[in-house]
Amino acid sequence: MPVQCRGPHPQCGGHPAHRDIGQPVGAQDLQSAPDEIVHHDRDRCFPRDHGNIITMTIAFDQLCVRVDAPGESSGQAQLLTDITAELDAPRIAIIGENGSGKSTLARVLAGLLGYTSGAATVNGHLVSQGPGKPKMAPGLRGRIGMIFPQAATQVVMPTVEEDIALSLRGSGLSKDEMTARVQAAMEAHHLTELADRPCLSLSSGQLQRLALCSVLITEPQLVIADEPTSMLDTRHALLVRRRLLHLPRETQLVLVTHDLDFATACDDCLWIHQGRLREHGRPRTVVENYLDFIHSEIDQERI
C-alpha cells in the first residue's frame, strides 16, 4: 500500500513518506518509505517562526544505523531502518518502547553516533561528517546540546559550581560575566545550595539537574534531552518539565521520553518501533495510538 501523508504539509518539501493526500508514491519512494509509517495532519503546520519561537529544520532521509554484533548471524545489528521525517516544531517528542531506537536516533542527531546510510541534517548541515563518522560537523558545533539519561557521564569537575562554569570556558565572557551567568543558572535549576558540593556526592536526581544546567547555560539552539526526568522526584520532574517546555525563543527541544504526559505537551511527535518510524504527527494522537498498541500487545500476551 502506498504511503501517503494525510494532510497538507507545505514545509515538507516532498519527502517520500510525507506527501499530500492523493499524491501517489512511486516505486523508488517506497524503498525509502516503509508502509507502516503513518503521517497525519497536525493541529497546525509549523513554519520556522512560531510566534517569536525561531526553530531549525531537522531532517532524516532514509537514515539507517547498523552496529557490530558478533552474536548476530550477519555479524551486525540493525538499530534504525529507513527513518525519513522533516521536523521544525519548537518541541519535538520521540516515544517508543525500550530498545526501539529512540536514544539511537537522538545520539545520531547529536553527532555522537555514526550512521550507516542515509542522512541526518539540521538546517541543511549534516550532523556528522558522513556515514560511519560520529563527529559533529563544523557548521553545527556549539549549537547542539545533549542531556543523557546517565547524567553522571556528563560530570567532569570536582564541584557543582566548577562543573557548570566549565561549560562557559572559551565563550569569551569575562570572569565576572561568567560568575554572574553561573550564579543565575544555579538559581534557576535550584542548585545554589549545592554549589560547593562534590559532584560524586550528588544523588541521581541532583546529577540530572546539574547536567541540564550545564547544557542550558551554553544557550544552544537545539537541546536534545534523553529521559531528562527519569531520575527525578515529582517536584523536580515538574520543575524540569516546566524549564524544558519554556526554553528561550531561540532554543528548540527534541525530547526522548517514556513520560507520555510530557510528550503530549510537545508540538510534534515521532513514535519509533523496532527501529522504524511507526507514526509521526500530533502528540496527542500519536500517544493515543501508541497506548492502544501497548494495550493490544498486553491483551495478546494474556491469551
Which of 124, 136, 85, 116 minimizes the C-alpha distance to 272?
85
Task: Report in angstroms the alpha-carbon separations of 84 from 31, 66, 93.
Answer: 11, 16, 16
Q: How far apart are CA 256 and CA 237, in angstroms?
A: 14
Chain segment 124-174, per-residue pLDDT in tens: 888 876 666 666 777 787 889 999 988 888 899 999 999 999 999 888 899
Within-domain flag for 190: no
Confidence at residue 67, expressed as pLDDT on a 0 to 100 scale? 84
Q: Is the pLDDT of residue 45 over 60?
A: no
- Residue 285 belongs to what H/E stretch? helix 283-302
Domain membership flag for residue 214? no
pLDDT at 10: 34
pLDDT of residue 64: 95
207 in any annotated domain: no
Give pTM, 2 decimals.
Answer: 0.79
Residue 96 pLDDT greater than 50, yes or no: yes
- Positive or negative, the CA dihedral 293, 96, 65, 59 is positive
Helices (H), 110-174: 160-166
Residue 93 in domain: yes
Query: 243 pLDDT exceeds 70?
Result: yes
What pLDDT does 74 receive? 66
pLDDT higher than threshold 70 for residue 1: no
- Domain of residue 115, CATH code: 3.40.50.300
C-alpha pair distances (Å), 123 with each of 36, 48, 127, 139:
27, 11, 10, 10
What average pLDDT does this structure show over 42-70? 70
Residues 83-91: what's their mean pLDDT?
A: 96
Q: Is 24 a domain residue?
A: yes
Average of per-residue pLDDT values in the chain: 81
Query: How sure is the predictor about 15, in pLDDT bands with cuts at 50, 70 and 90?
Result: very low
User: Does residue 215 fall inside a structural domain?
Assistant: no
C-alpha cell at 139: 557548521
Look up the domain containing 297 and give its range: 5-143+220-302
**Domain-embedded: residue 154:** no
Looking at residue 41, what is its pLDDT? 46
pLDDT digits over 104-119, tens only? 999 999 988 889 999 9
Number of domains observed in the structure of the chain: 1
- For residue 131, tell me if it sits in a domain: yes
